[in-house]
Structure 1
Amino acid sequence: MGPRKALLILGLMCMLGACFSQCGRHFLKKHRQCLDIYECGGIKEECQGNTLCLYTLGSYYCQCKDGFTNTKNKVYFKLGEERCRDINECYNNTVICGHKADCINLIGSYKCTCHSGYTNPTNNLKHCIDIDECEEAEMKKEDLCGIKGTCENINGSYWCMCPKGYTNYGNERTPCSELDCETFQANSRLAQSLEGLADILSMMRNSCLALSNPHIASEGKTDGEALLEKFLIATEAILSPGHLNHREEVSGFLQTVEESIRLIGPQLKDNGTEMETTEIDAKIAVQRGKTQPTGPILLTNENARLDTDWTTAAGTGTYPGFALAALLTYKNLEKFVNNSFEELKGHEKNGKNPSSFKISSKVVSVVVSNPSTQNLSSPVNITLRHLNETVESSEVEYICAHWNDRGAWSEEGCHQQQTNATHSVCTCELLSSFAVLMALYPMKHPFALILITKIGLNMSLLCLVLCILTFKFCRSIQGTRTTIHLHLCVCLFVADRIFLAGISKTEPVGGCRFVAAMLHIFFLGVFMWMLLEGVQLYRMVVLVFNATIRPLYLFIAGYGTPLVIVIISAIVNPKGYGTKEHCWLSLTDGFIWSFLGPVCCITFLNIFFFIITIWKLAQKFTSLNPDTSELNKIKAFTVTAIAQLCILGLTWVFGSFLFKKYIGTTVAAYIFTILNSLQGALIFVMHCLLSKQVREEYAYFLSCFCTPQKKRYSDFSSTNPSSSQSRGSQSGQHTGEFQI
């Protein structure tokens, strides 16, 4: 080999060495050697998630774990390709667990759960075997099918076979209960006299006999829902008008209803059943099971609500494995049982006996499977909605009562837990048919109150007549405030006179409404003239002294405003005038606020005017001579006006209580009567007797009828010729006010 060839071979070998010195992607160069990288371990694990990593020389592959599959159906794949997802074995193979178990998918796996009545003692996924409930119950000495029942094991369950006279109401896994079909006697005296009752009893007896005879084919039996519907329709004939005429018929009907529901309830398929006809609204709840049912029971409808629990409803277990609770609301039964109150006649309140009782709710029946309904383990709560009846001017008490076995309403075992205007909650230790009764205590005012009313109001009327004559004919005090006082007295006189003569004349209805409307107008007029007096004081002090208001404006405000309010009120609610016992505004639907609303507004406005007036007076007294006659005069005006407003306001504070039920109604009546009789006397004292000018006019008037006084007055006039001129000058000043 020549040197040239050797160099060529050496160069070629150097080139090949340089190429082989560069390692591939999956190799690592170390000590001039390329070492294979292990991708399936360490922090550089290439296969992640639900995968397995497979190592190869110079490479790797990923493979899904058992229970997972590649989204592209690849067995081997590398990083960056689709990952593994869970296989739903239950979906892909519906019989993977067999026919005795249910399949439940898990992440990467699945499990099988045996059906009820089967067990898996070996934890084999597909090995569910039947449970022999009858053998287990015998070993545990449990009475699975009742005393007379026979337990028969079947694949996945068991049956309770009942002998004749016993039944499990078609529920094979329910213990057998004894049936007493003789309860439904269609040939009884009551069934023959009450039309329709015999049909119900016959229907229930046939159903009972079918249940108690195991030889009758099951297809011949009527299911619970259909039987309930037939029963409720059959009751409509009895509840139609004119049928339930005697208490014995009512008691027999209610007892039949309760026994029928106890028979029908166990035959219902669902745990809750609702059914309604034109006469009855029925809600029934049932519970079935080996153990005693527990938990609350709440049955409710538009007119009633039942609150109890399953322990109370089931009782001592006469119906093993079964419990029933039903709420039946009769839509018109209260018309037939609005009597029989003799056992309530001794009911007293504040030492008074009620003059009458009325049914004030729908009648409801509560039925449970517990046979000891007269001695419940715990009381039940029954909420009843009051009927929409208006009772005015009477003391009212709501009483929880039940229909007893003597055919009368009784309070025994029931008491009222709470009540309001619309509902009463009754707590009862027994179960029957219930209703809320309303006891009426008419307000009979004592003779002393009637006497005070007549004497006080007549005295007030006399004082008001004197005031009217004084303000009309006493020339020296004529002015804006005198005009206001005159018409205030006129309104108060007319209102008191109508009140005294017609407040209790409720017949005829049209006349009573007219009296109420007149009282509304004139009592509002009194407050309007009071407001005008406050406005006049405000003008005198805040604006200018001796300010006057044109009479036309006074009349429009004093009489026009009350008239407009009454007209609007009469248009909105014409029946709001006049009640059953008083010719006054109705207390229902807020109609009384057509009077109290304006009165409150006027009172607040007057308080505002009086505060401003007193504040301005205080400023003027600090800046002027306190003896200034005008300031003293306005001060006196303000004091009398405030006193007058206080008396009038207090009167109607107590008057608003007079026509509605309150604990202190009699006390309010006395206070209202006394204050009302003081109004006329107060106005006469403040504006007439305490006025120097009015007293002089009275003296001059009396001198005309008393010769000695007239002579002395003439002598006084001759020595003081300016006296008459002084009186004339006082009136000629026309200040519009008078001085106290």
Structure 2
Amino acid sequence: MVGRWNSLLLALCLSLIVIRAIESCQNGFIMGETGCIDDDECEGDEGQPEICGENTLCFNTRGSFYCQCADGFKSSLTVNFSAVSSATCTDINECVEDKNICGPHTNCINASPSYSCVCQKGFLSISGKNESHGSNITCRDIDECQMENVCGQNALCVNTPGSYHCACNAGFGLKSGKLNFTGNEEQCEDICMIDKTICGNGTCRHGASGHYCACHSGFTNYGTNSSRCTVLKCDVFKDRNGLTEIFQVARSLMAQLNKSCLELTESKGTAEFNREDLLKRLMYMIDELLSSKALNNNRKVSTFLDITENTLKLMGPFIETPGRKTSSSYTELELLVHKGNDLPKGPVTLSSNHAKLDIQLETAAGDPSFYPGFTTVSLLSYKNLEDFANGYFGQMKSLKNESFEMNSKVVTVSVSNRYTSKLEESVNLTFNHLKQSNEIHICVFWDSSDTDGAWSTQGCTLVASTSDYTVCSCTHLSSFAVLMAVYEIENKFELQLISWVGMPLSLICLFICILTFSMIRSIQSPRTTIHLHLCISLFIAIFIFLVGISQTKSKVGCALVAGLLHFFFLAAFCWMCLEGVQLFRMVVLVFNTSFKTLHMMAAGYGVPAVIVAISISINPSGYGTERYCWLGLESIWSFFGPVCFILIINIFFFLITVWKLAQKFSSLNPDLNKLQKIKAFTITAVAQLCVLGTMWIFGCFQFEGGSIVMSYLFTIFGSLQGVLLFVMHCLFSKQVRDEYANILSRCCAPRKKFYSEFGSSHSSKAHGTKSSQDTGESHM
């Protein structure tokens, strides 16, 4: 009995030991015979789903495991993931990930979990297999032209990478009008049978090199055998109303042109002529006419331009491609030639030294349905035709005091298109100006139908214009030029009379001022030094203006005159500026100190010298124009710029001075009545305007039409500025008047009395002068 209980207790203890041992193994381990061993989770029970999911691989580790996507798949999360995560494995599209994975001339086909490479159409694998799974493939082009009769008869096979095309032989074409075809979809046929109108007014024939056109009588293709035959009008070269009888030099050319034209007509367009000889004849005729005075009326100008344009039309197609560019004593010619059955397209530019033409080749070729197989464009510029064509302005309307003047060379534009009276797309012409001008410019053409010929604006518009050039846009072709609208100043004679009377008076008054400020010691001061050099600069400027402004025969001399005028007028304005500064200091600031003479000289003469030197170094050709020895438009701001700056400063000083003067006149001499005060104030203010040069502001209005009042004001005050300076600084100054009286009395009185009066007068005047200088006040 005791033994049984012992056995039962032993079994119970062993059971407890085993249970305790099983509970002691960690996760991922199981109890084995020797204890806890690793549990391989990746070895699932047969028939159970994989622990990691679809398209995955399971990797066991000691005590655990991890999952990865199989080849050809990618994880939505990390590369390694656990079974309990939300990661999924999706197929990798290798064809998108690497577009060049299969190599050239192949197509990539995605599969799950890999991909396939297949040769494109027209290519074959060098291995003989056109498909490869999961690897690259090398494909070579299939030469379809090696196949028998792939294009049919009268065609040429052209192999291309992966394909081919067929092109008809010369003289053959497709009914569809296509240039190329593939397979047997179409057949090449004789082009003369496909399009029976291909030659126009001629018979289409088949030759070894293709088709050619035999023109009917009265038609020509200008020697381009495959081109359409067009009508040839020889009437344009016949003598019109006997005008060529006047042009002796033109008679032989007209006869030759008419003969050549008739030969082309009678020979059904197959005749040839010496094109070089005809071109030389044309250039010689133009030189002879322009070097003489034969074109002395508008009727002759019209005939001349018509002959030239028709000659260019006739000879143009016979010039070898791409054309010619030549010149003579009186002409510049550029002629562009394009030949071929294909209609040319795109912009082209022709140019000379004086003009430029921008035109589309489609415009020059004309209607595609009547394309003759060639396209010509010519630009002919004349050296001096503007001298003969100037003045014929026909029905062009002008405003009051407005006249027209030619400001460009005349050019003739000719194209092979015979219908140029109304172009679908306009052409642009750029003209260089003969005279640099900011006046209004007008685009015109020579209208032969206007009476006997005149300039007209119809169909031409201005695109852009500067002082150097004008761009015109025209919807027809002819001969063109640019006019300049000139506004004549009314009462020009009266204004000239005022100038030629006022300036000599100013010279006399300025000469008296120079003697006064330099020789009378009692009035000399820093301010009279400014007066003196202002008068000297203005005197020299006016004298040079009167003597040399119109001396344009010598370019060097004219440039020298312009440079001196530039310098001395600027110097005068600089001294006027010093006048304004000194006046401001005297009236407003009441300073006793004065400018040093060296500083005044540097400002009065040094600043103008620097400005003129810079202007000459930048543009030496801007000194001297065709009409006057003055600055050109491109250099005028080297004068107007500093002048405008000085005028602004002096206007400011003038306003301050007027304000101070108004205060002085209101408090000074209370016994004077109001009318006398206003009169004295007005005279002083106007005089001060002239001293500071602010009257030159009227010159800014000289560029506007209808400013006759401003013209008179500017002319009067400008020409009489020397007189006004004399009145302001000498006659208005009591001290100077006393000195003048003293000098006159000494000249007229007895000698003994002269000495006694001179001594007392000199001492008193000297004392008064010193007192005046110390106070710094003006004698006004």
Under TM normalisation by the shorter chain, which class is it? 0.5 to 0.7
In the aligned structure 2, how far is the partner of 1:54 from the partner of 1:467?
109
Cα 1:444/1:566, change in 2 over 3 Å: farther
1:369 is matched by which residue type in structure 2? N
2:574 to 528, 533, 545: 528
Q: Report whether the alignment pairs 1:586 with 2:593.
A: no
2:366 is matched by which residue type in structure 1? A
Post-superposition offset of 1:231: 4.3
1:117 to 169, 173, 192: 173
Post-superposition offset of 1:383: 1.6
2:230 is matched by which residue type in structure 1? S
Cα 1:407/1:364, change in 2 over 3 Å: farther
Question: Equivalent residue of 2:387, what SS?
Answer: coil
Post-superposition offset of 1:361: 0.8
1:84 to 111, 115, 137: 137
Cα 1:44/1:117, change in 2 over 3 Å: same
Cα 1:160/1:572, change in 2 over 3 Å: closer
Kept in 1: contact 2:275–2:318 (CA 8 A): no
What TM-score, normalized to structure 1? 0.63
Deviations 1:138-157 (A, max 9, x none): 8xxxx5554x5456689999
Question: Equivalent residue of 1:129, what SS?
Answer: coil
Question: Equivalent residue of 2:467, what SS?
Answer: coil
Question: Equivalent residue of 1:361, what SS?
Answer: coil
Kept in 1: contact 2:228–2:371 (CA 8 A): yes
In the aligned structure 1, how far is the partner of 2:777 from the partner of 2:121?
110
In the aligned structure 2, how far is the partner of 1:562 from the partner of 1:137?
80
Post-superposition offset of 1:669: 3.2
Kept in 2: contact 1:400–1:434 (CA 8 A): yes
1:212 to 269, 272, 277: 269
1:411 to 433, 449, 455: 455
Post-superposition offset of 1:305: 1.3
Aligned match of 2:379? 329
Question: Equivalent residue of 2:370, what SS?
Answer: coil
Kept in 1: contact 2:590–2:776 (CA 8 A): no
Q: Report whether the alignment pairs 1:73 with 2:73.
A: no
Q: Report whether the alignment pairs 1:339 with 2:388.
A: yes
Say which structure, 1 or 2, has more relative contact order (CA 8 Å, 6+ apart).
1
Aligned match of 1:671? 713
Aligned match of 1:452? 498
1:314 to 354, 360, 366: 366
Kept in 1: contact 2:221–2:229 (CA 8 A): yes
Give unpaired runs (5+ residues) of structure 1. 1-27, 214-220, 628-638, 708-713, 715-720
Cα 1:405/1:534, change in 2 over 3 Å: closer
Aligned match of 1:547? 593
In the aligned structure 2, how far is the partner of 1:594 from the partner of 1:650?
19
2:325 is matched by which residue type in structure 1? E
Please provide the CA RMSD for this pair: 6.3
Q: Report whether the alignment pairs 1:282 with 2:334.
A: yes
Kept in 1: contact 2:203–2:214 (CA 8 A): yes
Aligned match of 2:412? 364
Question: Equivalent residue of 1:417, what SS?
Answer: strand
Superposed counterparts of 1:717-728, under 5 Å: 728=767
2:415 is matched by which residue type in structure 1? V
Deviations 1:101-148 (A, max 9, x none): 656767xx6465665824799x9835642357666668xxxx5554x5
In the aligned structure 2, how far is the partner of 1:448 from the partner of 1:185?
55
In the aligned structure 2, how far is the partner of 1:522 from the partner of 1:178?
71
1:586 is matched by which residue type in structure 2? L
Post-superposition offset of 1:327: 3.8
In the aligned structure 2, how far is the partner of 1:84 from the partner of 1:134?
50
1:212 is matched by which residue type in structure 2? G
State, as a whole percentage, how many aligned pairs show the same letter: 30
Kept in 1: contact 2:366–2:417 (CA 8 A): yes
In the aligned structure 1, how far is the partner of 2:720 from the partner of 2:312?
67
Post-superposition offset of 1:479: 2.0
Aligned match of 2:527? 481
Question: Equivalent residue of 2:388, what SS?
Answer: coil
- Alignment length (residue pairs): 637
1:117 is matched by which residue type in structure 2? G
Post-superposition offset of 1:358: 5.6
Kept in 2: contact 1:475–1:731 (CA 8 A): no
Q: Report whether the alignment pairs 1:98 with 2:145.
A: no
Aligned match of 1:232? 279
In the aligned structure 1, how far is the partner of 2:618 from the partner of 2:290?
42
Kept in 2: contact 1:325–1:367 (CA 8 A): yes
What TM-score, normalized to structure 2? 0.60
Question: Equivalent residue of 2:527, what SS?
Answer: helix
Superposed counterparts of 1:306-705, under 5 Å: 306-307=358-359, 310=362, 314=366, 320-322=370-372, 326-331=376-381, 333-335=382-384, 338-339=387-388, 343-344=392-393, 349-351=398-400, 360-370=408-418, 375-376=421-422, 380-381=426-427, 383-386=429-432, 388-389=434-435, 400-402=444-446, 404=448, 409-412=453-456, 414=458, 417-418=461-462, 419-426=465-472, 431-436=477-482, 446-454=492-500, 456-457=502-503, 464=510, 471=517, 477-496=523-542, 499=545, 503=549, 519-533=565-579, 536=582, 545-551=591-597, 554-555=600-601, 558-559=604-605, 579-582=625-628, 584-590=629-635, 592-593=636-637, 595-596=639-640, 598-599=642-643, 644=688, 648-655=692-699, 663=705, 666=708, 668-677=710-719, 679-680=721-722, 683=725, 687=729
Aligned match of 1:731? 770
